[in-house]
Structure 1
Amino acid sequence: MKSYKCLSNQVIEFDNFKIVPLRYEDRLDILKWRNEQIYHLRQNKLLTVEDQENYFNIIVDKLFNQEQPNQILFSYLEKDVCIGYGGLVHINWIDKNAEISFIMDTALEKDNFHANWTKYLSLIEKVAFEDLKLHKIFTYAFDLRPHLYFALQDANFIEETRLKEHCLFDGKFIDVVIHSKINNRC
């Protein structure tokens, strides 16, 4: 398993769930999920296997050795099987904040969306607040999945702002909703 130079704890666990530094072996599952869920991602085209290989070999591989990478990505596992991935992205080391990114296996969304989101949030929060000592973490979400807001609220995130008609989606402008959480441990 690769490890991030910037983290003292590489594996964060709770019950049968854990996040580990992004595994190369999960890249094709992640590719599939990203393409299936393109509607809510900031991704403007379907990814190819070549795109994914390049991303892992050129972008992701460099992150592990950086003192302050702009993103820290994880495979999200249940009983050691990858069922999602995400991380802290757009990390601002000066202002001590980062955006949370997460997608799960599309097949799990219907019945396990809330449970997986809240478990993942508790794990990534430990990385952000306990290990990295960030001040704030937040989500940036197209207003397409209102069930996401319930998981965020249950994890004590607050709706910080709504950017009205901020993105063009399917021929109409939609809002972007930002939820955040402040580190009260510092």
Structure 2
Amino acid sequence: MDREYRVLNKQVFTKDHFQIVPIRNMDQLDIMKWRNEQIYHLRQNKPLTELDQSHYFTRTIANLFNQEKPNQILFSYVENGKCLGYGGLVHINWVDRNAEISFIMDTQLEKEYFSHHWFTYLSLIEEVAFKELQLHKIYVYAFDLRPHLYTVLEHNGFIKEAELKEHCYFNDAYKSVIIHSKWNKL
């Protein structure tokens, strides 16, 4: 393992053959590629370069590991050591005990395995959020572009909490944002 998050007692979370582990430097180019391929549904306004990604990993991500209350905790999502995606808890609000869920997977897996990987990832990130960090609420903030995501979220106990009409300007059009939330019942 590259490194460990100070805020977490447990670093590796496992379900079947899948794990989330503290984000690995070795995955940064794959992550950049997937982000650039899927820019249409991300809050990213231009394609990333290798230099952008390198700076992000050295200037932002590297500093997260020793913080008592980082604003994000990112993981590589792996199967048998191979990175299939990445994500984590972002925009963490330690006072109100909530965080946004972030996740993207290898673009080639989306068509056939989208639901499977989202289901698996959600169970892993919920363990981090609810059991490890004792957060009260987690949520997904998504441009209204992928209704198949909402089905997965709702099957995992997330509730559509809000729709922000024409909230973001992207590709010369205003897009609504859908927020699905889940509360800690532990």
Smaller-chain TM-score range? over 0.9
Which ranges of structure 2 fall in alignment gaps of 5 or more residues?
none
Cα shift at 1:81: 0.7
Deviations 1:103-126 (A, max 9, x none): 000000000001100100000000
2:106 — aligned with what?
A: 105
1:145 — aligned with what?
A: 146
Cα shift at 1:171: 2.0
Which ranges of structure 1 fall in alignment gaps of 5 or more residues?
none
Cα shift at 1:78: 1.2
Deviations 1:65-92 (A, max 9, x none): 0000000000000121100000000000
1:48 — aligned with what?
A: 49
Residue identity matched to 1:148: L
Distance 2:41 2:79 in 1: 24
Q: Secondary structure at the match of 2:163?
A: strand
1:31 — aligned with what?
A: 32
Distance 2:26 2:172 in 1: 37
Q: Secondary structure at the match of 2:142?
A: strand
The number of residues matched between the two structures is: 185
Distance 2:160 2:10 in 1: 29
1:21 and 2:22 aligned = yes
Q: Secondary structure at the match of 1:35?
A: helix
Q: Percent identity?
A: 63
| Aligned Cα root-mean-square deviation (Å) | 0.6
Query: TM-score when scaled to structure 1?
Result: 0.98
2:120 — aligned with what?
A: 119
1:136 and 2:137 aligned = yes
Cα shift at 1:169: 2.4
Q: Secondary structure at the match of 2:164?
A: strand
Deviations 1:19-64 (A, max 9, x none): 0000000000000000000000000000000000000001000000
